[in-house]
Amino acid sequence: MCIIDSTYSLDVLPQEYSTCGVGDMRLTSAEVEHANGSFLLDLRYVEHTIHSGKYALEGLPAFHGDDWETLSVVLRDPSSDVEIELLYGVCEAHDLITRSVRITNRGKEDIYLHKVMSLCLDFCRGDLDLITFDGGHTRERNLNRAPLRQGEQGVSSVRGASSHQHNPFVIFCEHDAGEENGLCYGAALLYSGNFDAKAERCQFEDTRFVMGIHPYGFRWKLAPGERFTAPEAALICSPDGFTPMTHRFHRAIREHLIRDPHPGERRPVLINNWEATEFDFNADQLVGIAAESAKLGMELFVMDDGWFGKRDDDTSGLGDWQVNTSKLPGGLEAFVPRIKELGMKFGLWVEPEMVNVDSDLYRLHPDWALGEPTRPQAFGRSQLVLDFAREDVRNYIYDAICKVLDSADISYIKWDMNRSLADVWSSALPPDRQGEVYHRYVLGLYDFLERLHRDYPALFIEGCSGGGGRFDAGMLYYTPQIWCSDNTDAIDRLKIQYGTSFCYPVSTNGSHVSAVPNAQTGRCTPIETRGVAAMSGTFGYEMDLGKCTEAEKAIVKWQTEMFKEHWKLIQEGDYYRLTDPFRNLDYTAWQHVSPDRSEALVSLVTCSTRAAQPFIRLRLKGLDPARKYSVNGSENLYGGDALMYAGYPFPLFSGEYQSVQLYLKSKTNP
């Protein structure tokens, strides 16, 4: 006998993982095609367990470490025996909760997964703002904030990478939330491919949020007994605004996600030759750039694109990972020792996921590129995408890269990826598995990087995807830093680095001083200001320092010495946003504070200029109100309470793009 309860409806009740087609009409968490063509999914609680330690995910990045607890909740659809395990990791030290999902086919027939979200979160309220971080190539992660409206809204990527356009990190917050007030929730997806982060403000003014792999082009075959694992999502709630949320994300990522091959060590200040030479260089020219850089304090020389194959522009050579001996006679075996003799380490640019049609690799294996053979292929930057879903393709490229790494003392590689995925079809998969290519590509990328991590444990890898096109928490598991943006203009970087800072630590933010006029904007900014902007990152230079004036060289030498002195404060201290560059157009300011609050570094850059500029009295943050601090070594002492509540007065600046830094040192104990 069926008993109908007219007061019960899935469409109004909060769900831990929403169903499909059985009464809840809001956003679904999973969509499964059964053998009979049905998409109905009625999930019922079976059991739960709690155990010490953090769960791990096969083939996927995840937070890790001691002092975690794991909650596992098992749900099952009784009609199809589809089993869904919800995984929760809890790190009390950082108020961090992680979420993942495993789906197992307990039935006797094949099923197809069309949608698997890693996270479903029901808020019993609709009066929230949604903050996303959006933009495009050379203008990544600009903050956008708007109240939730009724209906669906969110951000996503179907570009095969997390993308320049939208970042897989969002914030929900109260309308009046700010840096130090108001309830906010941050959610980050540890995934570097197509993603969907979508909210729905529903008819009864509640809100559902789901986050995971984008269902576009996704259809995963699951045979009886097989299991599918979704990427991890990370959540932090702060009742006191954005700053505490940021600090917890930064610490958790540094301590429980990144696997730095040299933990606790300062990363070398580097010089990259790209903006100085692009493809047109020879060995003597590069050694000259390195020699001048070494005199000014550089410690790592990175040779960028153009060192391999027939590579004089971006139309040929990708895939042929053999040294171009016409540019580098004797290969890396002869060239790298010349760099080492200068007292510098050596690094190399690579783009392993790509191939040019004009390459020996493509002529030998045209089927190794993504693309359906009866259709013309879409090119980006004159290149195609190798099918990293295929193990044989990955093995070939891996062996070629390893031969390069084994040929010389290479301590660093910059891993680039300069186009989106198109023509997504694999010659190695049958028709009923073509919906797996996007995700298998990402799994293949992770597999490749994990092998490098295993076989070259001292190798440092910087991620890059045309700059910041794959700046996500998933990549940080494999690459401890990521090139923040191809836009090296110091003023544009203020906004890019501001948006990046809400989730991602300063130590992950690849940032360099480049030449002027800037290659992306044509803007001219003083070298002092370019240094201040780049110092809010991993720090380095991307220019021919031999072309600098003697006065500029003196400034460069001072900048490198200052960064080396204060790197721990900058990269491991707490980061405070003192202004919002999207609202305050006059100047941008930020601050690094040591964990014990004994020292701080304040940076300020002026942006626009106008007549009758107001005086700047900047209220600092994070100091100990009971201590007194010296500023830039002055004998005058300022109370921490006065600096935070009354502010520090700055002189009037003459002209745009000026900068100043204040180093604060505590002279008294609390």
What is the CB neighbour count within 10 angstroms for residue 520?
17
Mention every residue, 6+ apart, whose C-beta is less than 8 A from residue 96: 63, 89, 90, 234, 235, 236, 248, 252, 256
How would you class 108 by CB atoms within 10 Å of its CB: exposed for 0-12, middle for 13-18, buried for 19 or more?
exposed
The structure tokens listed for 574 are 């707490």
Distance CA 198, CA 466 (A): 26
Choosing from 24, 140, 472, 489, the catalytic residue is 472
Distance CA 44, CA 335 (A): 64
Amino acid in position 428: A
Indicate the SS3 state at residue 455: helix
What is the CB neighbour count within 10 angstroms for residue 223?
10
| 3 state SS for 391-406 | HHHHHHHHHHHHHHHH
Distance CA 377, CA 374 (A): 9
The structure tokens listed for 461 are 């890898």
User: Which residues partner with 590 through β-bridges?
Assistant: 577, 603
Sort strands 30-33 and 111-123 into parallel, antiparallel or unpaired. Answer: antiparallel
**Whose CA is closest to 34, among 221, 215, 293?**
221
Sort strands 509-510 and 481-483 into parallel, antiparallel or unpaired. Answer: parallel
Told to judge if 351 belongs to the known catalytic residues of this protein, a careful annotator would answer no
Strands (E) located in 107-205: 111-123, 129-134, 142-147, 151-157, 169-173, 184-190, 195-201
Told to judge if 552 belongs to the known catalytic residues of this protein, a careful annotator would answer yes
**Whose CA is closest to 576, among 563, 564, 559, 593?**
593
**Whose CA is closest to 119, among 51, 185, 47, 216?**
185
Choosing from 367, 423, 552, 586, the catalytic residue is 552
Distance CA 102, CA 74 (A): 9
Integer angstrom CA distances of residue 598 from 391, 573, 583, 649: 52, 11, 31, 21
User: Which residue in the block uniquely carries the two structure tokens 């194959």?
Assistant: 309
Indicate the SS3 state at residue 141: coil
For helices 550-572 and 527-534, give the axis angle rounded to 10 degrees.
Answer: 20
Backbone angles phi, psi at 501, to 5 degrees: -70, -20
Catalytic residue annotation: 472, 552
